[in-house]
Amino acid sequence: MPVEIPAANQGGAGADDTGEPCGDLIAGYDEDGPTAFECGAPVRHTETGYHCSRGHSYTYAVHREAEGWDYASDPVEAELLGHAGVRGVHPGDGRTWI
């Protein structure tokens, strides 16, 4: 599956900025039923984190802290973060839990 990757960044020492596959898990089905597989879409790095062409994204901890939010994998964790004044965000799609 050929994928066009814009060569916008003038590379530094390593060229590991492009072509790196996204490792986010996606729920799916195979012949055995429900399963999960890695996204595999190309990842683009930014100043604050990275995102893939399918919409997965990751923001580095220092930027999450600066913006007053953090990843929460479930509503309980989101509530605990909330008690600390931190907004809990869904890791998959960036939505706020509460």
Binding site residues, Zn ion, CB under 5 A: 22, 24, 39, 41, 52, 54, 56
Helix (H/G/I), strand (E/B), else coil: 44: strand
Q: How far is the CB of 51 from Zn ion (least distance, A)?
A: 8
> Please, which residue, 44 or 64, has the CB nearer to Zn ion?
44
Minimum CB distance to Zn ion, residue 34 (Å): 19
> Which residue, 42 or 82, is less far from Zn ion as judged by CB?
42
Nearer to Zn ion, 24 or 70 (CB): 24
Helix/strand/coil for 87:
strand
Cα distance between residue 40 and residue 82, in whole Å? 32
C-alpha 79/C-alpha 5 separation (Å) is 39
Task: Quote the least distance from Cβ 26 to Zn ion, whole Å.
Answer: 7
What gap in Å lies between CA 22 and CA 58, rounded to an integer?
10
